[in-house]
Structure 1
Amino acid sequence: MWKRRAFGWLIICIIGFALLLIRLMQIQLIETEAFSKHNINLLEESVQQRTQELVIDNGRGNFLDRNGVMLTHKKVSVLVLFPFLKKIDWNANKVSEISGIPVKTLKNAVERAKKPFAYGNPKPLELTSSQMERINQLNIPGVFAIEKKFERSEVPAEQLIGLTGENPKEVKRRYPNKELSEKTLLGVSGLEESFDEFLLPDGKSKLVYHVDGSGGPLFGINVKYVDPANPFYPVNIRTTIDKSIQQRAEDLVDQSQIKKGGLVLLDIKNSSILAMVSRPSINKKDPYSGAGITNRMLKQQIIGSVFKTVVAAAAIDHNLDSPMRQFDCSKKINGKPEVQYNYGMLDFTNSFARSCNQTFGELAKELQKDDPLSLEEYAGKLGLTGGVGWQGDVYHTSNFKQLPDEDSGRVFVSDEARKDANMAAMSGIGQNEVRVTPLAVANMMATIARGGKKEMVRAVSKIEYKNRTTMVDFPVQSLGADSISPYTSMRLQKLLREVVLNPNGTGRWFQNLPYEVAGKSGTAETGKYIDGKELHNKWFAGYFPYKNPKYALVAVNLDVLDTEGGVNLLFADMVKMLYEKDKEKSSE
């Protein structure tokens, strides 16, 4: 009997030992980089248990504004202290004397520390170059003055730049042939996502100190600087954004209390985004949820009377704009009497300046009768029905898009609507099925200001290596060959200017601005209601200075009551701000 029991215990022990051996193999050999359902990297975790480190730079590429200023991060000269200082005698008095931090405060900070830290974090004390040099000359182990990369608490153009996050499964899906840590930051929206492959880190720059189980020094008190030592990475994404203009634009949008909407400002000369503001803002506590992550300047919106610019272009080319012709603007588009906006009989120019619906509904029907595709053709010529963001071949990527989240605009969604005269009339005033992005509207104004030269819109001008040499250029590119003629552009320029100059024009509020403005207003019915009252989209789109165009600007306030939420003041404030900035620049 005892032999059978002994044999049984032996079998149990062998099985237990085998299970332990299998588990050990799983941990040590098989699942070292993706252990358990949580995909824990055991190699990295074991190293972290034996080290204390301070990351100086996470190695991901940087976004710069057009002048080379960092947008998402900033580099700050800081004082770094290591916890092992509490176990050695160090010259805190001298560090205090140079930095201006009281000795007691310094020592208390070290006593509380469990890992290396930048003094004053999350708002670190910024050192001067002289202070940095003097502190480092002390050669105190565990005391360093370094330049560290910090994420900005407020990121300019946050929806355009986009967000990053950790996702081990997505790392493997996107980059199956790259050896990347599962904790690698990936772009999940905006430019962070579209340029993600260029921004991937080659490695982190960090200060590392090896410790034993109790946190004591393992190899003395030497701190090691670890750096990928690649002179070309991380790269810099040189955007076309002007940081100072962007920040001022955001302030003005918020002062206008725009809860849903924003603005787009383009540099007409090179068709580049100088500023882009989208509201609501991203929720800092839960950035991936809610409406804030959506860049509304790249999404289809109901455009309203701004679309009359397209009808005007088509009417000019089809000789429907005779100055002798009169339109009955005492009637609504359906022929019923117009009570609120009864303008009487108006010619083509005054109809545009005063935004008479009857005129452009009638013209749209005439154009539709001649050619059902006419409105779509001219919307395309002005860049409203296709994406306008920069795209082309970049390295091994064909048809690379800077703004992949951009919607394409549209005029109709069905042949039935295309062939229906009443639908055409409603489309002629930017209602019905017409949807356009604010970015495309801004580019339409830039196209008209350039005399019909239609170009792709850039958000990024180039990718630079770490040493600031160019890796990839994004040159100014034509947006298709089919555009309006110089003559049609000239006529539209005069019409857009008349909107402002006309005493009864919808843009007369801009007559006394320091820059001469040309543009078009729009108030679109949305079909949405609150407390029985319909909500509207309010627009003003234009360019300036009129005689020497530099800027194209669109301001839009979405889903507001007809009696509230105008954008005229915002547009005017932007013009004044840009005038003052240009004035300062010219005086330098």
Structure 2
Amino acid sequence: MFSESHPVFRSRIQFFYVVVMGVFLMLFFRYWYLQIVQGPSYFQAATENTLREINIPSRRGRIYSKEGTILADYKVAYDIMLDRSSFHPDRLISIAGFLGVSPEELQHRIRRYKRVPLYKPVPVLENLSFDEIVRFEARKKDYPEVFVELAPQRFYPFGKLFAHTIGYIGEPTVKEAQNLVTLQKVGKMGIEKTYDSILRGKDGTRRIVVDSSNHFIRTQLVQEPIHGKDLSVSLILLLQKLAMNSLGKYQGAVVVMSPRDGRIFAMVSTPAFDPNVLTFRFREKEWETLKTAPGNPMLNRAIQGAYPPGSTFKPLVALAGLNAGLSPRTRFTCTGGLEVGGRTFLCWKKEGHGSLSLTGAIAHSCNVYFYHVGLQIGIDKLLPVAREFGIGTKTGIDIPGERKGLLPSPEWKRNKTGRPWFPGDTLNTCIGQGYLLMTPLQAALLTASIANDGKLLTPHLINKTGEKWTRGKIDLPPGDFKAVKRGMRMMVTGGTGMALSGLGLPICGKTGTAQTVSGADRKALELSWFIGFAPVRNPEIAIAVIAEKGGHGTDTAVPIASKLFKFFIDNGEKFR
């Protein structure tokens, strides 16, 4: 072995020192180059590259009519998004000018998303035209804080026709947004609201790195969206069109439903509104205009309009009378009025109807007959039967906003007015006047419950059948329903609804005329009502029609119902 002083040993040690020092010097030089020479450029690149979270929107489920026509769809649209994490207030005026909005409006749009985490971009301009997209792309380097994002837009191809039933979507409230991860729009009305969790999918996310010129560099993470599910409703497109066109100039409502399973085939309320306007975020002016429009087009009169039902309530009063012990052959004489408590209660026929049985009283809509029924049974025996039919309670239809109407009682009147219940209150209730209020949907459900001999259904728009839609059975004898149906059939063959007799369809019906206020100009203040079902045996449709200021039931409501029954005759297969 060599000693430490041997020349060979010393040369190896020296070589090792040279190698180590060389490596050290190379590392030092490289570190100096990166930190001192290239450091500023790397720092600039690091600060200029931005991590941006891009929303991948899910597609909201389509809504189809009973026959398969699309009633709610989506179309390709683009929004301009603002990256607030890189936005400086000094740029507000410049960006607002580029977007074509005032600085105040842009500030308002930014502030409305103050509860959204800062790293999430928010929309500041929506539904861009092709020209707007081209203009933005040409100048996007000048505005790195904003970028274009794909945003499928909800679209209602039939506009006003299904506004109150299908509804619309819009931006969530603070409470609604608590359950959302992204800036999704949610159902605000109708089917869109009730079945929002089914129709609304789950947005995906793509995190990308962009440079200072807004150019894509690389993707960091991708989470695929989950699209919403489609729904089918029981509404029939052509029937819905017919119902709306038939109402024409009148404010009112039409409901056509199945007395077998509760499905709604048509539900129209006029006036209506275009739901496409309300799906946009930044349309405050249009929204304010709609809220103050004549006739309150946002009101769904079919479920929110509470009206005195007039003579359409008489079949229920007849059932209550039969339940209390009256007979279908019980006769009362009408001389044009009945004096009770020093006040004369009039019939619509001044000269009177003479002697009538129960079926004849229904057919000719004799007020005096039903005054006598009210005096015989009293309000205490009428109210339980009315409650069994669901009067004064919500029907449970699968869209929000339904009113329950009003079934007045002595207790209610005492609490509301501080006054006692008089016999005259009972008489007014028995002809569908006084404090009594019903929605057109409740009138349709009453009609369906008579048609099917007392099966109380839950009306619904979703196109499904089954026992879950049956609420219960009204405890009245089948013979009582038979007697009332006989009177409703006579109304069509020889009473106030004879205009329906020439259709060749066996129809049971009841006309109604309700007074909204008293006055000399009676027609201008009357509600024109009709309820009916067909065919008499194994009925398939039940109808309720109301036209505000439509005159007598025979003037407006019956002609509308005639068109609906004719549609059923020609298109019976669509209802099954």
Check conservation: 2:308, 2:436, Cα contact below 8 A. yes
Corresponding residue SS for 2:458 = coil
Counterpart selection for 2:351 from 336, 342, 346: 342
Check conservation: 1:382, 1:454, Cα contact below 8 A. yes
Seen in structure 2, the aligned counterparts of structure 1 residues 584 and 164 have a Cα distance that, compared at 3 Å, is closer
What letter matches 1:452 in structure 2?
G
Corresponding residue SS for 1:479 = strand
Corresponding residue SS for 1:554 = strand
Seen in structure 2, the aligned counterparts of structure 1 residues 386 and 227 have a Cα distance that, compared at 3 Å, is same
Specify the alignment match of 1:480 in structure 2: 472
Seen in structure 2, the aligned counterparts of structure 1 residues 202 and 329 have a Cα distance that, compared at 3 Å, is farther
Counterpart selection for 2:334 from 321, 328, 331: 328
Check conservation: 2:199, 2:229, Cα contact below 8 A. yes
Residue deviations 1:340-398 (CA, integer Å, cap 9, x gap):
53234131222211111111012112111xxx3222112122232322225xxxxxxxx
Specify the alignment match of 2:536 in structure 1: 546
Q: Superposed, which structure 2 residues align to 1:389-428 within 5 Å?
A: 389-390=396-397, 402-415=398-411, 416=414, 419-428=421-430
1:242 deviates by 2.1
Check conservation: 1:328, 1:344, Cα contact below 8 A. yes
Seen in structure 2, the aligned counterparts of structure 1 residues 227 and 234 have a Cα distance that, compared at 3 Å, is farther
Specify the alignment match of 2:265 in structure 1: 274
Aligned counterparts of 1:485 and 1:581: Cα–Cα separation in 2: 33
Seen in structure 2, the aligned counterparts of structure 1 residues 212 and 512 have a Cα distance that, compared at 3 Å, is farther
What letter matches 1:158 in structure 2?
A
Name the structure with the higher helix share.
2
Specify the alignment match of 1:379 in structure 2: 386
Corresponding residue SS for 1:541 = strand
Seen in structure 2, the aligned counterparts of structure 1 residues 318 and 293 have a Cα distance that, compared at 3 Å, is same
Q: Superposed, which structure 2 residues align to 1:170-249 within 5 Å?
A: 170-171=173-174, 173-174=175-176, 176=178, 178-181=179-182, 183-203=183-203, 218=216, 228-230=224-226, 233-249=227-243
1:58 deviates by 5.0
Backbone CA RMSD of aligned residues: 3.9
What letter matches 1:245 in structure 2?
L
1:188 deviates by 2.1
TM-score by length of 2: 0.66
What letter matches 1:193 in structure 2?
K
What letter matches 2:241 in structure 1?
Q
Aligned counterparts of 1:584 and 1:427: Cα–Cα separation in 2: 38
1:449 deviates by 1.2
What letter matches 2:271 in structure 1?
P
Correspondence 1:295 to 2:300: yes
1:192 deviates by 2.2
Specify the alignment match of 2:484 in structure 1: 492
Specify the alignment match of 2:170 in structure 1: 165
Aligned residue-pair number: 438
Specify the alignment match of 1:433 in structure 2: 435
Check conservation: 1:267, 1:273, Cα contact below 8 A. yes
1:236 deviates by 2.3
Q: Superposed, which structure 2 residues align to 1:62-81 within 5 Å?
A: 62-73=62-73
What letter matches 2:401 in structure 1?
D
Counterpart selection for 1:367 from 367, 373, 377: 377
Aligned counterparts of 1:202 and 1:336: Cα–Cα separation in 2: 62
Corresponding residue SS for 2:517 = strand
Aligned counterparts of 2:571 and 2:503: Cα–Cα separation in 1: 14
What letter matches 2:71 in structure 1?
L
1:404 deviates by 3.4
Specify the alignment match of 2:512 in structure 1: 522
What letter matches 2:170 in structure 1?
G
1:579 deviates by 1.3
Aligned counterparts of 1:419 and 1:493: Cα–Cα separation in 2: 31
Structure 1 unpaired stretches of 5+: 1-42, 81-108, 117-146, 391-401, 463-472
Check conservation: 2:455, 2:474, Cα contact below 8 A. no
Seen in structure 2, the aligned counterparts of structure 1 residues 342 and 188 have a Cα distance that, compared at 3 Å, is same
1:64 deviates by 2.5
Residue deviations 1:512-531 (CA, integer Å, cap 9, x gap):
01322111011001127697
1:441 deviates by 1.1
What letter matches 1:62 in structure 2?
R
Aligned counterparts of 1:289 and 1:174: Cα–Cα separation in 2: 22
Aligned counterparts of 1:236 and 1:318: Cα–Cα separation in 2: 49
What letter matches 2:394 in structure 1?
G
What letter matches 1:365 in structure 2?
L
Specify the alignment match of 2:322 in structure 1: 316
Corresponding residue SS for 1:71 = strand
Specify the alignment match of 2:563 in structure 1: 573
1:537 deviates by 1.2
Residue deviations 1:27-53 (CA, integer Å, cap 9, x gap):
xxxxxxxxxxxxxxxx99x657xxxx9
Aligned counterparts of 1:344 and 1:67: Cα–Cα separation in 2: 47
Seen in structure 2, the aligned counterparts of structure 1 residues 412 and 583 have a Cα distance that, compared at 3 Å, is closer
1:113 deviates by 3.0
Seen in structure 2, the aligned counterparts of structure 1 residues 111 and 433 have a Cα distance that, compared at 3 Å, is closer
Specify the alignment match of 1:12 in structure 2: none
Corresponding residue SS for 1:412 = coil
Check conservation: 2:391, 2:405, Cα contact below 8 A. yes
Check conservation: 1:528, 1:534, Cα contact below 8 A. no
Aligned counterparts of 2:159 and 2:498: Cα–Cα separation in 1: 36
Residue deviations 1:281-312 (CA, integer Å, cap 9, x gap):
12654386141111111122111111111111
TM-score by length of 1: 0.65
Q: Which protein is bigger by CA-based radius of gyration?
A: 2
Q: Superposed, which structure 2 residues align to 1:428-467 within 5 Å?
A: 428-461=430-463
Corresponding residue SS for 2:254 = strand
Correspondence 1:536 to 2:526: yes
Seen in structure 2, the aligned counterparts of structure 1 residues 457 and 338 have a Cα distance that, compared at 3 Å, is closer
Corresponding residue SS for 1:292 = coil
Specify the alignment match of 1:130 in structure 2: none
Residue deviations 1:192-242 (CA, integer Å, cap 9, x gap):
223333333301799x99987667x6469x9xxx88353xx4122332222
1:565 deviates by 6.2
Correspondence 1:357 to 2:357: no
What letter matches 2:434 in structure 1?
N
Seen in structure 2, the aligned counterparts of structure 1 residues 555 and 322 have a Cα distance that, compared at 3 Å, is closer
Q: Superposed, which structure 2 residues align to 1:34-183 within 5 Å?
A: 59-73=59-73, 113-114=134-135, 150-152=155-157, 154=159, 156-167=161-172, 170-171=173-174, 173-174=175-176, 176=178, 178-181=179-182, 183=183
What letter matches 1:277 in structure 2?
V
Check conservation: 1:261, 1:556, Cα contact below 8 A. yes
What letter matches 1:351 in structure 2?
A
What percentage of aligned pairs have identical amino acids? Answer: 22
Seen in structure 2, the aligned counterparts of structure 1 residues 564 and 498 have a Cα distance that, compared at 3 Å, is closer
